[in-house]
Amino acid sequence: MINHSAGSSQPPTGGGPAGRGRAGGRRAARLLVLLAAFVCAACGLVYELELVALGSYLLGDSVTQASVVLSVMVFAMGVGSLLAKRFTRRPATSFALVESALALVGGLSVLLLYGCFVWVGHYRTALVGVALLIGVLIGAEIPLLMTLIQRIRRQEAGRAVADLFAADYVGALVGGLAFPFLLLPLLGQATGALLTGAINAVAGAVVVLWLFPREPSPRVRVLLWSLCGAVLVVLAVAAALTGAFERAARQALYGAPVRFASQSRYQDIVLTGPDRVPPPRTAADGYRPSATPAGPGRSASPLRLYLGGRLAVCGADEARYHAALVQPALVGAHARVLVLGGGDGLAAAEALREPGVRRVTVVEIDPMVVRLGRTDPELTRLNRDALADPRVRVVTADAFDWLRTAADDGSRYDVVVADLPDPGLDESRKLYTQEFYGMVRQVLAPDGRLAVHAGPVAADAFWAAEATLRSTGLRTAEYAVPADRGCDGPTDWGFILASAAVPRLRPPTSQDAAPGSLDAAALRIAATLADLRRPAHQPGPSTLLNPR
């Protein structure tokens, strides 16, 4: 981990590495200590990113989570560097103890915090405590490694600091890149943290028990070996039980049998209920049978799809939500429809209900959500296998990046449906900015319409989205539809219909009998509900540099 203080006290003589009398042996020992600094820095940064990612997933507001974790850990690292000065008389032994403690705390941190969130509560307090402890241990590493390097071969302090910090910074780079591109997609947060802890423990044992075998007494050396082995055993047992732990925690958290659970590159994806479903058409994509299948007389719970810990689809209210989002935008020309988000296929299915729709393009960032929409039996029932319809084209891309090139290609759409996460989430705020809506307008036909789900109408983010749409020259009509109380979601859904001319809020006549359809009277009531909640002082438009 990156530290900005190093011990400068001169180490006592003796206790150096075996073979230190030969220059070649000293060079090899010195390189091994620098390698240990590299490994420790990589592990330390992985711990930081694990805490940030877990906090963002569980609580949202990634800016706040990153700020809390990083500031607390940097402060704690300074404390750890100061405390390490007391232990430089036996730097090898102290380093082994620090690495064992760091391996245990850092390796188990994700499981401990997730368990605290699910069963205990007080997650923020636990997060600060774990970040403090990990930071103190990381901060103690560089002063101890500096003392070990000087013990191998005395040299000018500035040169030793430069070498040690170079290894530290390069290790931080490797750890920072390994977390999102290797550990998270291949192992997940919990297993990735446990593997990182095991590497920490091995690094401490190698430095002490191979490079500096004469510093600890034989009895202490046996204790250190035993401690390192015990830590590895604890981490291995935790890794073996991680699957059962996650299933129990998800069962307690979501309150329904979990049929699918996976961590994609972008988010945690969990699919629960209903209790009775036919087997999937394919055994791929990580399906896990429920450990508690429905017995005779048990009622089926509705399907729920959670993305990043937040409810994205609830089977009990899916028809009303997507009808309210899509149908008003279909009044008028609607041959070409663009759906931004909506990888579950539900918005596309609603658009395909309307006669005259010839082409639906779905732009979804997460391919795992698209696979679920194509293969999960319950989702395909809800979306009527829309993603297999020849009129539907799915593009796996970030909607913001895709729009930047779509306008240059001359693509134009009669209807654009923004079925995106709520604007209050940090990761989705760019999708409700002036820049984003400006690009949407470029791909919108002159008489086209844009439908936006912008979260609950009582939230400031909803009215910021409305002001942002108007700032791009579009005219808007807002409406609020009460949500189904049977789902653990907001009390209402807030929608905005926008177009170059004043949009007319009415349903298409062909959809009167469709499930969840709102008639003209219901839409007038929905518009009145939204207008009654309009704030006296509306927020200004949102931009990339000044998100609202």
Structure tokens given for 341: 């988000």
What is the distance between the alpha carbons of residues 101 and 203, in angstroms, rounded to a whole number?
A: 12
Query: CB count, 10 Å around CB of 335?
Result: 12
Question: What is the SS3 string spanning 194-257?
Answer: HHHHHHHHHHHHHHHHHHCCCCCCHHHHHHHHHHHHHHHHHHHHHHHHHHHHHHHHHHHHHCCC
List phi, psi (to 5°) of 363.
Answer: -110, 105
Distance CA 272, CA 267 (A): 16
284 and 460 Cβ atoms separated by less than 8 Å:
no
Angle at 524 (CA atoms; ends 474, 342), nearest 5 degrees: 55
Strand residue runs (E) in 279-322: 304-307, 310-314
**If DSSP codes are grouped into helix, strand and coil, which group holds residue 543?**
coil
Contact 118, 252 (CB under 8 A): yes
CA distances to 262, 296, 297, 381, 469 from 293, rounded to whole Å, are 20, 10, 12, 20, 47
What distance in Å separates the CA atoms of residue 226 and residue 71, rounded to the nearest whole number?
Answer: 35
Strands 492-499 and 444-453 turn out to be antiparallel
Nearest to 273 by CA among 318, 308, 241, 243: 318
**Catalytic residue check, 398:** no
**Buried residues in 467-505 as b, exposed as e (16+ CB within 10 A):** bbbbbbebebbbbbbebbeebebbebbbbbbbbbeebeb
CB 313 within 8 A of CB 305: yes
From the list 366, 414, 419, 492, the catalytic residue is 419
Structure tokens at 433: 């900015």
CB 459 within 8 A of CB 414: no
Q: Active-site residue numbers?
A: 419
